[in-house]
Amino acid sequence: MVNELLSDKQYRQWLIDIKQRVRQSQLKAATAVNSALIEFYWSLGADIVQKQQQAKWGSGFLQQLSKDLLGEFPDIKGFSYRNLVYAKQLYLFYCQKDIIVKQPVSQLKKTNSKAKQAASLIGQQIVAQLARIPWGHNVTIIQKCPTVEQALFYVSKTIENNWARSVLTVQIESDLYGRTGKAISNFENTLPASQSDLARELLKDPYNLDFLTLARDFNERELENGLIEHVSKFLMELGAGFAYMGKQVQLQVGQRDFFLDLLFYHTRLHCYVVIELKVTEFEPEYAGKLNFYIKAVDEQLRSKEDKPTIGILLCKGKDKVVVEYALSDINKPIGVSDFQLTNCLPDELKSSLPSIEQIEAELQMVDQSKL
Is residue 257 assigned to a domain? Answer: yes
Is residue 143 assigned to a domain? Answer: no
Same domain, yes or no, for 230 and 125? no
**Residues 314 and 167: beta-carbon distance below 8 Å:** no
Q: Considering 100, 132, 164, which residue would you say is the last residue of a domain?
A: 132
The amino acid at residue 28 is K
- Enclosing domain of residue 7: 2-132
**Residues 53 and 150: beta-carbon distance below 8 Å:** no
Q: What is the pLDDT, as a whole number, of residue 51? A: 85
Same domain, yes or no, for 224 and 323? yes
| Cα 320–chain centre separation | 26
Same domain, yes or no, for 203 and 341? yes
List C-alpha distances in Å: 367 to 353, 360, 362, 363, 364: 22, 11, 9, 6, 5
Q: What is the pLDDT, as a whole number, of residue 256? A: 96
Whole-structure pTM over 0.75, yes or no? no
Strand partners, 108: none
CATH of the domain at 297: 3.40.1350.10
Q: Considering 132, 161, 187, which residue would you say is the last residue of a domain?
A: 132
pLDDT single digits (tens) 48-68: 888 888 877 777 888 888 889
Q: What is the pLDDT, as a whole number, of residue 353? A: 47
Same domain, yes or no, for 186 and 288? yes
Same domain, yes or no, for 206 and 64? no
How many structural domains comprise the chain? 2
Same domain, yes or no, for 280 and 341? yes
- With 0-12 / 13-18 / 19 or more C-beta atoms within 10 angstroms meaning exposed / middle / buried, residue 228 is middle
Which residues, other chains included, contact 186 with Cβ-Cβ below 8 Å and sequence gap of 6+? Answer: 327, 328, 330, 333, 334
Same domain, yes or no, for 113 and 237? no
**Which comes out higher in pLDDT, residue 261 or 99?**
261
Same domain, yes or no, for 8 and 115? yes
Residue by residue, DSSP assigns 135-190 as: HHHHHHHHHH-SSHHHHHHHHHHHHHHT--HHHHHHHHHTTHHHHBT-SEE-HHHH
Is residue 314 assigned to a domain? Answer: yes
Same domain, yes or no, for 243 and 106? no
Output the CA angle 253-254-256, nearest 5 degrees. Answer: 70
DSSP 86: H
**Residues 119 and 98: beta-carbon distance below 8 Å:** yes
Listed ranges 137-146, 186-195, 338-347, 353-362; the one with the highest mean pLDDT: 137-146
pLDDT single digits (tens) 88-128: 999 999 987 544 333 444 444 444 555 455 456 667 888 99
**Residues 46 and 32: beta-carbon distance below 8 Å:** no
Same domain, yes or no, for 120 and 214? no
Is residue 164 assigned to a domain? Answer: no
Is residue 279 assigned to a domain? Answer: yes
Least confident of 6-10, 44-48, 269-273, 358-362: 358-362
Mapping DSSP to helix (H, G, I), strand (E, B) and coil, where does residue 293 land?
Answer: helix
84-96 in b/e form (b: 16+ CB < 10 A) is bebbbbbbbbbbe
Q: Considering 72, 97, 132, which residue would you say is the last residue of a domain?
A: 132
- CA neighbor of 356 nearest in space, from 225, 244, 236, 238: 225
Same domain, yes or no, for 108 and 205? no
Q: How many helices (H) and strands (E) does the chain have?
A: 17, 9
List C-alpha distances in Å: 100 to 53, 68, 115: 22, 37, 6
- CA neighbor of 272 nearest in space, from 326, 312, 315, 310: 310
Is residue 312 assigned to a domain? Answer: yes
Strand 334-340 relative to strand 184-185, pairing = antiparallel
Q: Is the pLDDT of residue 249 over 80?
A: yes
Is residue 371 assigned to a domain? Answer: no
Is residue 54 assigned to a domain? Answer: yes
Same domain, yes or no, for 193 and 331? yes
